[in-house]
A = this chain, B = another copy of it.
Amino acid sequence: MLAEHCRTIADRARQASYILTTVPTAAKNDWLLSCALSLSGNSSILEANRKDVAAAPGFGLNAAAIDRLTLTEKRLAAVAEMLRQVAALPDPVGEVLSGSTRPNGLHVLKVGVPLGVIFFLYESRPNVTADAAALCVKSGNAVILRGGKEAIHTNTALHRVFAEQLPKFDLPADAVQLVTDPDRDAVGHFLKLHDKIDLVIPRGGESLIRRVMSEATMPVLKHYRGNCHVYVDEHADLAMAERIVINAKCQRPGVCNAAESLLVHAAVAEQFLPKIAAALAAQGVEIRGCDATRRMVPVAQPASEDDYAAEFLNLIISVRVVPSIDAAAEHIRKYGSQHTEAIITRDLAAARRFTQTVDAAAVVVNASTRFNDGNELGLGAEIGISTDKFHARGPCGLRELTSYKYIITGDGHVRE
């Protein structure tokens, strides 16, 4: 029964995806602008959100989670602004990625096409509903949204706006569907439908992602963990290093591109560690260090293997003194999550070595890890940051939600 229901939703999405392949860019953009207009100050959405916020303590949400769940007029305006930004981005569907005329006169174009149907699973922040709907439809994909039960009223109200506007611009009504069935089994049913769903994107905690990875029969685009390091090289500008470490750790400690670990070259450790420790302590950051660190920073707690591997998402940092840039790279290889890794150095050879050998979605020289973000890198809005190397890596915007096809045009060409 539930399985049948899920299959029907997926079938509808598949049908919608066929139509979306060829809709004009202007229709998609007008839809986005119309949704933006309809969202601004929309009292029914704010009212629905108040229901969710009132029910939130019953779901065991803490104050930070309730804050993320809460929509205000200002936050709704920011969502509308995001829709306008997505409307302003170039359409990746039909984009000519490369092309050539072959020696035999055959014309070859490599052209962007939608992936098809995307199943998007996410937790409580309601703005993610809008991000996903906007990015998927603009990139020509039909999307099946499955948000958290804590945000169900808000998501339903948001979805109503997106769905109501679709037919006005001759877009298929099933381009954006919301699954509100509270049964967790629904997710399992969708994950089996590889003939209907081309991609699943889980966005949430580690247990959600692990479940999707083990059950999905279609490709998964996932943001797994962000255990990001800042390595302070022996040739670092130490004042710059201090500013960057404080920004990377403290500016927004709960996000994936915040720094979780500090590596310091032994040659500058005596000079740098007491200063940065004081600056971190002033921000309320707890330090867990190696033996060498603890000799120079008496307040530091001992760091365990688990601390080096941890994504704290909190005001805690692990610290280790390393003898060389290669030792830093080795540590990052062992404990890192291939998300964002930074080096602070004035030495070009050191920067070159680090950016070549460290394997991560973003490798940063003399800047905060916090810059690994779709907007900051110029991709526009993002649906997540991929920690995979397959298909898309790092911030995933419109282009990353597409595939391509070759269009080959001849004049009666046959192969000899």
- List residues of chain A with CB under 8 Å of any chain B CB: 18, 21-22, 100, 102, 106, 108, 113, 115-116, 198-199, 219, 237, 240, 243-244, 246-248, 251, 333, 351, 355-357, 359-368, 370-372, 376-378, 388-391, 393-394, 403-415
Measured CA separation A365–B108 after assembly (Å)? 10
Measured CA separation A368–B102 after assembly (Å)? 14
Most B CB within 10 A of own CB, among A18, A360, A361, A412:
A412
Q: Would you give the shortest CB distance from A107 to chain B, in whole angstroms?
A: 9
Task: List 20 A-B residue pairs with CB atoms under 8 Å apart, sorted by A's residue number.
Answer: A18-B357, A22-B357, A100-B378, A102-B376, A106-B371, A244-B412, A247-B415, A248-B414, A355-B407, A361-B406, A363-B406, A364-B408, A366-B412, A367-B409, A367-B413, A368-B413, A371-B410, A372-B406, A372-B408, A393-B403
Q: Would you give the shortest CB distance from A239 to chain B, in whole angstroms?
A: 8
Q: Which residues of B contact A199 (CB under 8 A)?
A: 390
Measured CA separation A360–B244 after assembly (Å)? 47
> Is the CB–CB distance between A106 and B390 below 8 Å?
no
Closest B residue to A364 by CB, please name it.
B408
Knowing A18-B333, A412-B237, say if A367 contacts B198 (CB, 8 Å): no
Q: Would you give the shortest CB distance from A219 to chain B, in whole angstroms?
A: 4
Measured CA separation A378–B393 after assembly (Å)? 26
Q: Which residues of B contact A388 (CB under 8 A)?
A: 219
Q: Which residues of B contact A21 (CB under 8 A)?
A: 356-357, 359
Measured CA separation A74–B237 after assembly (Å)? 61
Measured CA separation A171–B250 after assembly (Å)? 42
Closest B residue to A351 by CB, please name it.
B409
Q: Which residues of B contact A356 (CB under 8 A)?
A: 21-22
Measured CA separation A403–B387 after assembly (Å)? 12
Measured CA separation A235–B106 after assembly (Å)? 20
Q: Which residues of B contact A251 (CB under 8 A)?
A: 414-415
Closest B residue to A370 by CB, please name it.
B415
Point out the residue from B244, B376, B407, B415 that lies within 8 Å of A363, measured CB to CB: B407
Measured CA separation A97–B404 after assembly (Å)? 16
> Is the CB–CB distance between B365 and A408 below 8 Å?
yes
Measured CA separation A301–B362 after assembly (Å)? 59
Knowing A21-B359, A333-B18, A359-B113, say if A404 contacts B413 (CB, 8 Å): no
> Is the CB–CB distance between A391 and B390 below 8 Å?
yes
